[in-house]
């Protein structure tokens, strides 16, 4: 659905016949909902089964695609974007938390970067496959064929999520250490007390119900419900406060947080890659040429994910990461300014480097955060990424009034240059395992 939904919205015959202003309004709704859902779903993922949330996310997204397909209208499109944002938010941070904590429970946390790299590569391959299949599906069965295929893909994704192992599901209140000492996650003693009180209350309620004292039962049931709500609210508040303290109060986490958010800069501009490809391949056959160039960039993203899977992070140093980022920034600028279709190879290399570095930085972040608030912290990162995306979109909208796409993509390399320089002069360790040596 992704490659053709904007065309479907505007199509006055088979689609919704929306104006550009209405379509822009839908994108605003999508962005606002993504902001609104990101942190609440992260908190949810730190309180309940993450596998269940990964199953629910694609179902919400698929429901949105079904509305688009069989009820083409502005209201249905808006509802679909709300559901898509909710589905994406349920998976954002949740997947990383489930993967890392499951590996940690098996004493294999060092494998996180390898599996995360494969996940990124497979995701990029899936997007590429969907883009390739969208054209023949649309020609064969129109938008409904594409919509049906998208819904089926979401159902398959949900079913596949049900098969994921979850060796370390979130527990609340967190278990106390065996020696009775207090840890970072063992701060909410009132939750333990309330939980026990709730258990006693429910037990008393059942007993009194058996003896026929209905009024007392109702009173104690209401009290138990109130305590459950208070305990739940306190638990959510504690998780959120712990996540914020961890991000802003711990120097190592704060530095990695900024790095992960900053690395998403060019990823926010990938929506404009077709404009760059069109300028690199002008004239006759431009439509076919743009498609070919987009495939080349997608292959670079896939290669970056696989490269991350093969990277030994135990020996990773900031200078090595900075060197690659500097090379990627140079490749992006040179490829954009090439003025020839061959320049897209350099752009593809840059996207491979940026994708690789993003997986490495994510692994660094996961090494530094506690299991108890892992999904929440990753969701806070997601909010930062959305803010970077908005800045990137605004910068493009402003710069495109005077500058062509080639120049804008050249300028987009500057933030990566700025990121690489501090890393090149840093003497510290990159990963948690390296920092302990």
214 within a domain of the structure (yes/no): yes
Residue after which a domain boundary falls, among 142, 165, 188: 165
How many domains are contained in the chain? Answer: 3
One domain for residues 329 and 216: no
One domain for residues 254 and 210: no
Task: Say how many Å lie between the first and final Cα of the chain, rounded.
Answer: 48
Q: Quote the domain boundaries for residue 36.
A: 1-165
One domain for residues 135 and 24: yes
One domain for residues 25 and 121: yes
pLDDT tens over the chain, length 437 residues: 777 787 788 888 777 888 878 887 888 888 889 888 988 998 888 888 999 999 999 999 999 999 999 998 999 999 999 999 999 999 988 999 999 999 999 988 888 988 988 988 888 888 888 878 887 888 888 889 989 999 999 999 999 999 999 887 776 555 554 444 344 443 333 333 343 444 444 444 444 444 444 444 444 444 555 555 555 555 677 777 877 777 777 777 788 888 888 888 777 777 778 778 878 887 665 556 777 788 888 888 899 988 888 887 777 777 888 899 999 999 999 999 988 888 889 999 999 999 899 888 888 888 888 888 888 888 888 888 888 888 887 888 788 888 888 898 899 888 888 888 888 886 654 444 444 33
One domain for residues 145 and 214: no
Q: Which residues of 385-414 are buried (b: 16+ CB within 10 A; e: fewer)?
A: bbebbeebbebbeeeeeeeebbbbbbbbbe
How far is residue 229's CA from residue 191's CA, in Å, rounded to a whole number?
11
């Amino acid at each position: 659905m992704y490659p053709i939904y904007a065309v479907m919205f505007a199509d006055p015959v088979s689609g919704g016949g929306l104006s550009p202003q209405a379509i822009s309004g839908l994108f605003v709704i999508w962005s606002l909902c993504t902001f609104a859902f990101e942190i609440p779903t992260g908190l949810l993922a730190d309180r309940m089964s993450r596998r269940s949330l990964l199953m629910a996310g694609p179902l919400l997204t698929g429901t949105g695609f079904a509305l688009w397909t069989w009820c083409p209208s502005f209201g249905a499109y808006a509802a679909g974007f709300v559901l898509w944002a909710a589905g994406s938010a349920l998976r954002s941070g949740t997947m990383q938390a489930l993967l890392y904590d499951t590996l940690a429970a098996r004493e294999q946390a060092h494998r996180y970067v390898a599996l995360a790299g494969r996940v990124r590569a497979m995701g990029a391959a899936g997007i590429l496959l969907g883009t390739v299949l969208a054209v023949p599906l649309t020609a064969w069965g129109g938008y409904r064929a594409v919509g049906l295929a998208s819904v089926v893909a979401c159902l398959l994704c949900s079913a596949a999520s049900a098969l994921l192992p979850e060796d370390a599901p979130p527990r609340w209140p967190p278990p106390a250490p065996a020696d009775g000492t207090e840890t970072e996650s063992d701060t909410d003693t009132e939750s333990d007390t309330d939980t026990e009180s709730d258990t006693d209350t429910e037990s008393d309620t059942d007993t009194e119900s058996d003896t026929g004292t209905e009024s007392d039962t109702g009173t104690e049931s209401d009290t138990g419900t109130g305590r459950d709500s208070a305990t739940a609210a306190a638990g959510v508040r504690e998780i959120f406060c712990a996540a914020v303290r961890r991000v802003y109060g711990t120097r190592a986490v704060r530095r990695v947080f900024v790095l992960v958010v900053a690395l998403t800069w060019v990823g926010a501009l990938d929506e404009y890659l077709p404009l760059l490809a069109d300028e690199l391949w002008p004239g006759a056959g431009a439509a076919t040429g743009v498609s070919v160039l987009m495939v080349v960039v997608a292959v670079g993203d896939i290669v970056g994910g696989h490269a991350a899977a093969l990277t030994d992070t135990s020996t990773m140093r900031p200078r090595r990461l900075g060197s690659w980022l500097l090379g990627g920034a140079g490749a992006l600028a040179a490829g954009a300014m090439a003025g020839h279709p061959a320049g897209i190879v350099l752009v593809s290399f840059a996207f491979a480097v940026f994708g690789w570095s993003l997986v490495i930085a994510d692994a660094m972040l996961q090494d530094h955060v506690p299991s108890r608030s892992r999904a929440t912290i990753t969701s806070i990162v997601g909010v930062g990424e959305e803010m970077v995306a908005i800045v990137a979109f605004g910068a493009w909208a402003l710069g495109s009034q005077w500058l062509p796409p080639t120049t804008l993509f050249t300028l987009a390399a500057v933030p990566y240059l700025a990121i690489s320089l501090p890393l090149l002069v840093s003497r510290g360790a990159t990963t948690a395992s390296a920092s302990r040596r």
